[in-house]
Every structure is written in structure tokens, then in C-alpha cells.
Amino acid sequence: MSRNVPLLEQDENKDLLRLVTAGSVDDGKSTLIGRLLFESKGIYEDQLDAVRSASGRKGSTQEGLDLALVTDGLKAEREQGITIDVAYRYFSTPRRKFIIADTPGHEQYTRNMATGASTASLAIVLIDAKNGVLTQSRRHAFISALLGIPHVVVTVNKMDLVDYSEAVFNEIVDEFRDFSAKLDLHDMTFIPISALVGDNVVERSERMSWYQGSTLLGYLETVHIASDRNLIDLRLPVQYVSRPDSEFRGYMGTPASGVVRPGDEVVALPSGKTSRIAKVLGPDGEVPQGFPPMPLTVTLEDEIDISRGDTLAHPNNVPRVDRNIEAMMVWMAEERLVAGKQYLVKHATKLTPGVFAGVRYRLDVNTLRRQQADTLELNEIGRCALELARPIAFDTYRRNRTTGSFIVIDRANHNTVAAGMIVGREPSDQVVDEQRRTTTARSELLSGQESRIEPDERSRRLGHESATIWLTGLTGSGKTSIAYALERRLFDEGVLSQVLDGENARLSFSMDLGFSADDRAENNRRAAEVARLFNEAGLVTICAFLSPFEEERRRAREIVGSDRFFEVYLSAPLAVCRERASEGLYERAETGEIRNFPGISSPYEVPIHPELDLPSHELDIDECVDRIVALLHQRFPSPP
């Protein structure tokens, strides 16, 4: 037993290379994988027996085996002689361990190729020497570039059928290079092989003495992959918060990139709170550092609010935090993409609702030309704009394949409908960001001024305290009606008050904003700032804003001050609000005429701990006003 321990340790410490095979139908992908498994002794005897039986031959020599059947494991595949799903296999050599994915060749299964290639560090693109570079060859090269696969090996297979011709091989290489010059492929290698016979797969071929390069397995064993990992940009998505007892709070996850060590300063995103790493714990206890793909737990020196879906990074090297993203999408569902429809977006460990704001263009993968499009269909690829309900911390896919990618899930059936690779914004998309940076730079030159009148002086003069009543609820829940009735009641009691209504805000200080998730958030922020100014002037401010997201309402509370902020939730159900709403708003939202409509095509997050929950479908307006006034009298004994 002791003799095996060093061998086990040696095997455990080997590099792991994930690779994917791709090519047109009948280019020999499955045969090639079967050859690699057979030659590396990666097939068990019972598997070999099953392959011999399925091959329909009694001989036990390797020439009598149909090695394609090693991976074509589905009955339907064996009957049709094609691969229709992604088959994963593991094998090992003295130098390296491998996980290999055999992906479909049919165009209709392009989505499966994208799935198999999403975690691969190397792609083997097979080309039939008889047929040359086909449409699917170009498609797979494009997807390899799109998914950022660092290494691509173009294997020209079935060289035995073209008499091992060097001229045929060179012609294919030249054609493939011409097409791939338009793609972002940095490391390409070309190898002539015959998977069926074994030429240049594991052993060098005497029949292709003109080829002086490595065999395929020799290349797979020696290709440099250590630098493929990003150990510079710390990105630690939090998967779980561990609280086994009151003395321990750990944040668990697998680093997407970078290295984390005790003493490192980190920032939690999207909140922006900072702390330092106290400990880094691996599966077997405390470790001096953590890096991908180690599962680890970190503890912090400070107790800050961090939950699943947040990301830890170094403060001087942070990802972008935003609700709006631009991405190249591979559409994987039979149902077409619907702009404005609400989907779920799974990014790293975070799940958030989101909508497609539009399709920028669709790509013709044969010519790489952009085509105008309003939607994407099964297996189509295009660039889209997405608006998320909550901000995520992300990088471009080219910089970080984990934090730069996501999947899209249908809310109704929970099927994965698309995979996305985040891209940098076009120059036109940067205009708003440049304006914001300019505004921020100018604000650093300014300093706030304080009034010479103390808040207590104002309250004594006016006879009441200032406060902000923040009315939130679905469209049709009665926010505006209750707000103006409350203003009248307070005025009659001698209280100076002012209503800030969502629609009026859109016609004044927010007239430059649209209705995207970011614009809604900015509208609420501006309203909160105005409410704070009104409060400082001694007024009671009544804000009637839909404000569908908990994060927006929390931010408004911070701006105004929690001591004078009252969140009032009008909890009328959707069915009642639909009946009350004018102009058929809900119906127009359901047909897609109105996009990002909370409750239909955009979420409404019910307040967790409002100061007052008013069932406005059960209470009339006066009863609602009575309860709000009672709340104010309770908080401020002097009227109100």
C-alpha cells in the first residue's frame, strides 16, 4: 500500500487540461477521442467488450474496434451514427490529466458546442481532409474565439483518404488562416492526422514524413496552460455565508481569479464596504493564500454586510458594478428572445431578474457580418443590451471568463435559454459614463455649506418636526391619491408639507430620464435628495414613488436619514391594482408595448420591514391617512 502513495500524490499534482472537440458531422471527432482513450489505456475492459459487441465484430485487435462508440454512448447516436449530445470523458497520461468533451457536429446543436467549450482551455477543431473547411468549421472557430479559448488545435483528419498529401494539408491550413485572421485567436496549431489508423495521434506517422511537428497527444501534454489562469485580479464571488456559531462568520466561495492572503485589504461589491482578510481557510484548515480553483472560506477583521452574490476584490483593482451590460449571446432555446420579457440572469453566484433592452445585431458566423435583428432564435449569436434589476460586479469576458459570463433562465420553466459573454461598450455607450466622471471630478472641487438656522429652531417656529413619508407600491395601489389626501390633512392640522409625486418628478427634475432600471433608480435618488432638502427646511415631505427595489428604498433612507424616514407599503395585490390602473397600463405591459413595468415585465420587491403596511385594497383613502398620521403622532409627540 505504501508503494502506491507516491504515485497517488504524483497523479493528484498533475496539471488538468480541459479540452473540447468540434467539427462537422462525420469528421471523426468521436473516433479521435476513442483513439486517445484507447492508446492512453483510458478504457476499461468491460467498456471495450461493449464496444466490440456494438462494433459487430468478434476480433479483439484494435483494427476491429469502432472507437467512435466509446463516446457515442446514446442509443440514438449509435443508430444514427452521429453525436447529438455533449459526451465528457476523462483520461490521464504520465504528464497530465485531461477532461475532454465531444460536442455535436450538426448546426442545430451549436448550443451544445458552446456548452462544452465554456470551461475549456483548448479546442480541437477537426476538418475532413476530403471536404476541406466547411461552414461548421468556421462556426466552431468563431465560437472558440467568442468563448475565449486560449489554444486552438486544427487537426486535419482522414489524411489516409487523400494519400497523406502535403499539398492538401497546406491548402486547408491557408484557407483556415485566412478566415481566422478576422477572429481573436492567438495560439493556433495545425496537425495532420488519421484518427482511424492512428497517424500522428499518439505515434508519429512514417507516411507523413514531411510533417515535422508534434503528435496530437504530444502537443496536449506539453502545451503551456499555467499562464491561462488570471492570478492578478482578485474576484471572489461569495457563495455562502457560514455562521456555525456566534463567534464565527466566514464567506465561502471559489475564487474566479487572483490570489487572496491574510492581511489583504478587500472591498465588498456592490456595497463598496471595505475590510481586511483575517484568515484564509481551505478544506483542511488555515492556508497562507487562496487561488483558483481552490474552494475556500475567508474571514474579515470587520463585520460588514456581505451576502450570497456579493464579490470580494482588492480596492485598487475592482470590476465594473452596473445594472446595464452589453453581451454577445448564444441563444439556446426553441422560443425566440423576447425584448422586454423578464428573465433570470445567473452571474457567478448571483441570481437577479433582468430584461433584454434590445438586440444590437445578429452575426452571420459564415461571413462575420452584422445583420439587423429584433430577436435571436435557436443557435443564433448576436449582441444584446440587458437591464438587470440589481447591479452585478463584472469584468469583460476577455479579461475574466467567470465574472464576464452568465446564463439566462426562463422564469416560467427554469430552462436555460442563453449564454452570454460580456463585452466592452461601444464608443457611443461611453458618453454617459464620461459625463458622469466629469460631474464627479467637478464635485470634488466643491464643499458643502451649512445653514445658520438649527433644526430645533425650525421645529419650534413651525410647531412640528420634519419627516419623509415614502409611499411605495404597485401602479394602482393608491400612492398618489393617498399622498395628496395626507398633504391636505396635515395642512389642515397646521403642518407644512409637500408632495413629491413620481409623475410630477418626471416633468421637472427628472425629465431627462427614461424608464430603464438605472433611470428609475436615479429618479428615486433625486427624489430622496429633494426630500432631504425639504426636511432641512422643516417640511414634512410625502413621496409617492413606485420604487420597486429594496436597494433603492434603502438608499433613499440613507440619504434622508433613518430617524425621519418612514417607509409605507401600500400592499394592494396585483389583481386589484390591475383593475384600478388607468389607460390599460398592465395590458400594454403584457403585450410588450410598455417595457420594464414592475409587476409584469420587471420585478417589484416587497418591503421587508416597512414602518407601516397599509392594505389599500381593504382601507379607503381616509382610513389610510388616519393610520399614517397616527404613526407620525406616535413618533413625534408634538403635532404631528
What are the chain's domains? 4-228 (3.40.50.300), 236-313 (2.40.30.10), 321-425 (2.40.30.10), 455-635 (3.40.50.300)
pLDDT of the residue at 156: 94
pLDDT at 108 over 70: no
Question: What's the pLDDT score for residue 20?
Answer: 86
Q: How confident is the model at residue 433 (pLDDT cuts 50, 70, 90)?
A: very low
d(CA 352, CA 148) in angstroms, rounded, equals: 25
Q: How long, in residues, is the chain? A: 640
Q: Does the pLDDT at position 110 exceed 90?
A: no
- pLDDT of 237: 95
Q: Is the pLDDT of residue 8 over 60?
A: no
Quickly count: other Cβ atoms within 10 Å of residue 374's Cβ: 11
Is pLDDT of 55 > 70? no
pLDDT above 80 (res 331) = yes
Which range is least confidently modeled, 19-33, 66-80, 409-423, 486-500? 66-80
Local structure of 553: helix, strand or coil: helix
Say yes or no to pLDDT of 340 above 50.
yes
Between CA 604 and CA 608 the distance in angstroms is 12
Estimate the crossing angle of helix 166-180 against helix 135-146, to 10 degrees.
Answer: 50
In this prediction, residue 619 carries a pLDDT of: 93
Proportion of the chain above pLDDT 70, given as a percent = 83
Enumerate residues 6+ apart whose C-beta is below 8 A from 402.
235, 237, 256, 257, 348
With a cut of 50, say whether residue 464 has pLDDT above it: yes
Work out the average pLDDT over 183-202.
88
Computed over every residue of the chain, the mean pLDDT equals 82
Q: How far apart (Å, rounded) are the C-alpha atoms in residues 92 and 17?
A: 10
- Look at phi and psi of residue 446 and say left if phi exceeds 0, alpha if psi is from -120 to 50, else beta: beta
Q: Say what the pLDDT of residue 155 is.
A: 93
Reported as a pLDDT band with limits 50, 70 and 90, residue 61 is very low
Mean pLDDT (whole number) for 540-569: 91
Please give the residue that has the higher pLDDT: either 590 or 300.
300
Top-ranked range on mean pLDDT: pick from 49-53, 227-231, 352-356: 352-356
| Residue with the larger pLDDT of the pair 240 and 425 | 240
Query: 549 falls in which pLDDT band (50, 70, 90)?
Result: confident
The predicted-structure confidence for 243-300, as pLDDT tens digits, reads as follows 888 889 999 999 999 999 999 999 999 888 899 999 999 988 999 999 988 899 999 9
Distances (CA, A) of 217 to 36, 148, 159, 162: 8, 22, 17, 23
Lowest mean per-residue pLDDT among 58-62, 85-89, 261-265:
58-62
